[in-house]
Amino acid sequence: MICQLCEVALDDGMLCVGCTKATRVRLEALPTLYRGLGVLLTPAGGVGQGRSGKGGPAPIPVSLDVLDVRGPGGMVEPLESWVDAVRHDRGRPEHPHPGSPEGRVDRAVGELLGHMPWIAVSWPEAGDFAREIRELARAVSSMLRPPAADRGTRIGNCPAVDPSGALCGAVLRLAPGEKAVRCEWCDTCYPPYVWAQLKTWIDEDARASDAA
């Protein structure tokens, strides 16, 4: 017998201890992640309050993907589908899911957490359930995580030498929108007309370093 998520060997059950704990943590995080997405729905531009602001269309949200997750069929639907599946397989009453999407997410997560001991030990669908919860948590987390800043194109190591003869060696990058390469450490600037020579210097320094 193996864990249905990570495939580690098990003596009994459907999920190993680690995957069970991880699934619980991801479930517990979903309501917070869901509420965090609400901040991203702030319009990109405010609607004017003066005369010209009346009657205009509402601004488009920052991300339609975020709007989809926050809507009735986004995070709510898969969670409630799993609630219904667990209720069915455990012979529990299958009640409807009324209320706002946020309240429904809270209730679905709470109910699924209550079923986790049974899911981890006895439910044949435990692997698919844990996998979908993992993917859902990752997807929403990626929406909340700011994109990595573009540091530019890596050129090589700065070949500048200071008055003492020491090589700078800091990483050179061509920043987005810039026309010249500037070392952030020693502030040496390399305009485009010296780039051929710059490459020669960088290659020579690299060979010397390899030979050392």
More confident residue, 52 or 153: 153
pLDDT tens digits for 59-101? 444 455 665 676 666 788 899 999 999 999 999 998 889 888 8
Closest CA to 102 of 195, 161, 36, 27: 36
Q: According to the model, what pLDDT value does residue 14 have?
A: 96
Q: According to the model, what pLDDT value does residue 80 have?
A: 93
pTM confidence score = 0.60
* Contact indicator for 19, 29 with CB cutoff of 8 Å: no
Q: According to the model, what pLDDT value does residue 131 have?
A: 95
* Mean of the per-residue pLDDT values of the chain: 82
Task: Kindly state the percentage of the chain with pLDDT values over 70.
Answer: 80
Q: According to the model, what pLDDT value does residue 19 have?
A: 94
Cα–Cα dist 176/153, whole Å = 8
